Structure formats: C-alpha cells, structure tokens
C-alpha cells in the first residue's frame, strides 16, 4: 500500500490544469485518487461559492475518466475545500492517490489515507449524542480498516452533516424543550467529540448532550471538521502512519496552545526529521513538506497570552478571516511556504484559542 501526494498551485477556483496534467501524463490514474484537499480564494463563509466552483471543475475533469456522471464523482473521490486565502495563503490543492496492497511484513510506518461515511442523520440528532456516537463508530471502524492504532491517527478531516428541517419540525422541537442544533457550530462540535471518543481522547462517561459547545475541556487533537447544510451523512477522511504501508510519506500532528504557538510547530517539524535552524526551514527541507493542515480560532476569551485582541469586536473584518490570516502567517513563516491549509471555527478542536496542526512530509 502506497500513498502519493501532489501539491498543485492554482490560478483560480476552477483551475484543474495541474491535476489534468498528472492524469494526462500517466503519473496518476483517476481510479487511484482518494481525495483532493485545498484552499480557494473565497470568503470562507456561507456564501463562498468558490468551493462549489472548484468542486464542479474537479467533477467535470474526473467524470469521464471514472466513467461516472459528474454528480457521482464525489462518491468515489472526497473533495475537502476550504475557502479563505487571506494574507499570505496561496491557493492550492493537494491530490492524494493510493495504490498497491498491504505488506504483511511490518516495516517503517508510512502514510495511509482512507475514507468513510456515517449513516444518515436526522435533524434532531445533530449536535447531540447520536451524532457523537455514530461518528465515533465510523472513525474507529476506518482506523481498523487502515490497520492503525489510535496513536497512529494524526488527522481526521470531516465534512459534518447538517440535514435540513422544515419550519414546523423546528418549532415542534423547540416546544418539546429540545431545540434543533442542526447548524454548522453544533455539527462541527459533535463531529470533533466523536473523533475524540473513537481515539480515546475523551471518556464516554464524560460526554452528554449538555457538554456540546459548553465544556471546552473536552476536545480532539487530530480532528478538523467543517459542516455543510443539506448534507445527510458525515464524510470522513483519515490520515495515519501504518507499519504495513510503503512509500516515502509520513504524517505527524501536534496541538497548538494558541495562535502564536511557534514552538509547537518547530517541535512537530523536528519530529518529522526537519529540524528548524535559523527560524525557517531551508529550501532543501521545504521541498520535503507536502501539506500543512491547521484549525484556527479567535480566542473567545478575548485575549492572547494576557493581551487583549479585537478579532471578535471588529465589525469590518470577520473574526474567521482574522484568525486564518494570523495563523497562516505563523505557519508559513516557519515552513517558508505560503501553501498552507487553515480552516476556522474550532469547537472542541484543541484547547480554547488553540487547535490541531498536522503536517505531511517526505521522510528524509
């Protein structure tokens, strides 16, 4: 089993020329693609249609090569696209392809990638224990399929379900004392707690409907969750290191304690065999870095290291755009490459004001 990854700069949301060249040149086959992750230059909000444009372009590119109608392509290849390239972030996508079979003889641990889905959810289940438990089940099952111990899972990228409910159903739930939580905030939160439960980061007895978006001491250090209105089931992407895989890629993770936690970034790079000297990776080291994936959050307590911040009170610029730009600059300044993937809103993703960071690199 081997995973290959291709970092492809883009000139616009619909630019798929880099991936098209790989396919046309026979470097990778369409049926080997597992997922495409990337950043598009929209606002990252609910009306950010750059993601839809990018996904449509990918569907049109891959559909004839997979022998599928475009709407069915995402049943085969997961697209995880994050809008918002504020500051230094450079628009790009990373395509992951998988080939070969498992090695029965264990060797050095190398990157594996897999996908899964939860069962469909009802609107009343979102943000509550049914979503957490079902997400945990799907995550644990995928880890077993990929021959991964919980400690070998370093990134779980998810697009959380938000099934739609009509006005009457929402009103009935409110009158019954259980208002619906089928929104982005609660779907992201429950998804992250599901990952934490599956991987032993939190105990089952500590979880309940009441802790969702309330008890911030409960979090995952490897989850990275977004959510999509209208999505019935959660899409799951898992990245880990298996002793039964080959190739030259590895993944590692850490948890940033706040948006300025450069020490954690440098420590993670060192553990990946890329020690930082002089403040930034050398050009030779930089060539080993394939992908940088992080979650950012404007600390809801209103301060960073004892100093007041104004990200949450700026009426001109949304706090998500502030935090994306700030963390992306921190990461790019250490790695030396502005192709970084930072998504925002981090409910139960790391401690308040911090968040998970994962880096995929070529083994030195």
Residues making up the binding site for substrate: 51, 82-83, 188, 226-227, 324, 343-344
Measured distance CA(72)–CA(222) in Å, rounded: 29
- Residue pair 265/331 in contact (Cβ under 8 Å)? The answer is yes
- Residue pair 198/241 in contact (Cβ under 8 Å)? The answer is no
Give Cβ neighbours of residue 190 (< 8 Å, ≥ 6 apart). Answer: 126, 127, 128, 131, 132, 135, 160, 212
Annotate 47-111 with three-state secondary structure: CCCHHHHHHHHHHHHHHHHHCCCHHHHHHCCEEEEEECCCCCCCCEEEEEEEECCCCCCCCCCEE
The yes-or-no answer on residue 39 being catalytic is: no
Q: Which residues are annotated as a binding site?
A: 51, 82-83, 188, 226-227, 324, 343-344
The yes-or-no answer on residue 159 being catalytic is: yes
Which tokens sit at 194?
């599901």
Q: At what angle do helices 17-24 and 50-66 cross, to 10 degrees?
A: 10
Q: Which of 80, 159, 220, 296 is catalytic?
A: 159
3-state DSSP helix/strand/coil % of the chain, to nearest 5? 30, 25, 40
- Residue pair 180/170 in contact (Cβ under 8 Å)? The answer is yes
Q: Which of the 8 DSSP states describes residue 302?
A: S
Q: Which of 191, 226, 242, 323 is catalytic?
A: 226
So which residues are the catalytic ones?
159, 226
């Amino acid at each position: 089993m081997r995973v290959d990854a291709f970092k492809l700069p883009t000139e616009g949301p619909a630019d798929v020329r880099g991936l098209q060249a790989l396919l046309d040149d026979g470097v990778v086959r369409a049926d080997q693609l597992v997922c495409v992750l990337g950043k598009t230059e929209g606002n990252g909000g609910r009306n950010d249609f750059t993601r839809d444009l990018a996904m449509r372009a990918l569907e049109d590119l891959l559909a004839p090569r997979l022998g599928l109608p475009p709407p069915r392509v995402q049943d085969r290849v997961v697209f995880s696209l994050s809008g918002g390239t504020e500051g230094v972030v450079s628009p790009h996508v990373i395509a992951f392809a998988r080939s070969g079979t498992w090695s029965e003889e264990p060797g050095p641990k190398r990157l594996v990638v897999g996908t899964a889905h939860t069962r469909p959810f009802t609107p009343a289940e979102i943000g509550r224990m049914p979503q957490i438990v079902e997400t945990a089940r799907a995550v644990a099952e995928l880890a077993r399929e990929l021959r991964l111990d919980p400690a070998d899972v370093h990134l779980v990228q998810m697009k959380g379900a938000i099934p739609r409910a009509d006005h009457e159903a929402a009103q009935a739930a409110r009158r019954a004392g259980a208002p619906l939580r089928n929104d982005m905030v609660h779907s992201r939160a429950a998804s992250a707690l599901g990952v934490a439960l599956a991987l032993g980061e939190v105990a089952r007895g500590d979880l309940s409907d009441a802790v969702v978006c309330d008890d911030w001491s409960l979090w995952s250090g490897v989850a990275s969750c977004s959510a999509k209105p209208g999505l019935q089931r959660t899409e799951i992407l898992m990245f880990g290191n298996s002793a039964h895989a080959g190739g030259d890629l590895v993944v590692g993770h850490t948890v940033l304690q706040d948006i300025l936690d450069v020490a954690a970034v440098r420590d993670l790079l060192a553990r990946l065999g890329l020690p930082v000297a002089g403040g930034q990776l050398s050009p030779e080291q930089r060539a080993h870095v394939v992908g940088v994936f992080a979650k950012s959050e404007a600390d809801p307590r209103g301060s960073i290291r004892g100093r007041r911040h104004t990200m949450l009170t700026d009426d001109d610029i949304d706090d998500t755009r502030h935090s994306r730009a700030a963390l992306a600059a921190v990461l790019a300044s250490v790695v030396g490459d502005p192709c970084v993937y930072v998504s925002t809103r981090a409910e139960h993703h790391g401690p308040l004001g911090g968040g998970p960071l994962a880096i995929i690199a070529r083994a030195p």
